[in-house]
Amino acid sequence: MAGNVIEITDKNFEGEVLSSEKPVLVDFWAEWCGPCRMLAPTIEELAAEYSGKAKVGKLDTDNNRDTAVKFGISAIPTVMVFKDGEVTKKFVGLTTKKELKAALDTAL
């Protein structure tokens, strides 16, 4: 993962996301997914901009199927914003940086 982006897995999901004191943006993605790769620079920019205020992470759905199934991920990219262990916003498909920022700002 680049810069401030956290790698989220089935093993660390609870600690990094559900138990986090800060809001967390999670990008559910896969290596083979073209739109996911297109979204990656936006995710990295958000991670840098929200450093210290919120967590930004990526979960590879191919390698972490349990979490993807638990949250009903049927299409990628899917981006979810969590606050206090709850999903506050969910985006399916390519999403603009403006929309993602608005969701994070609301969660802060």
Helix 34-49 × helix 97-107 angle, to 10° = 50
Task: Mark whether 96 is an active-site residue.
Answer: no
Task: Mark whether 36 is an active-site residue.
Answer: yes
Annotated active-site residue in 36, 39, 56, 103: 36
For residue 105, how many other CB atoms are within 10 A of its CB? 13
70 backbone φψ class: left, alpha, beta (φ>0; ψ -120 to 50): alpha
Annotated active-site residue in 33, 45, 97, 101: 33
Q: Which residues are catalytic?
A: 33, 36
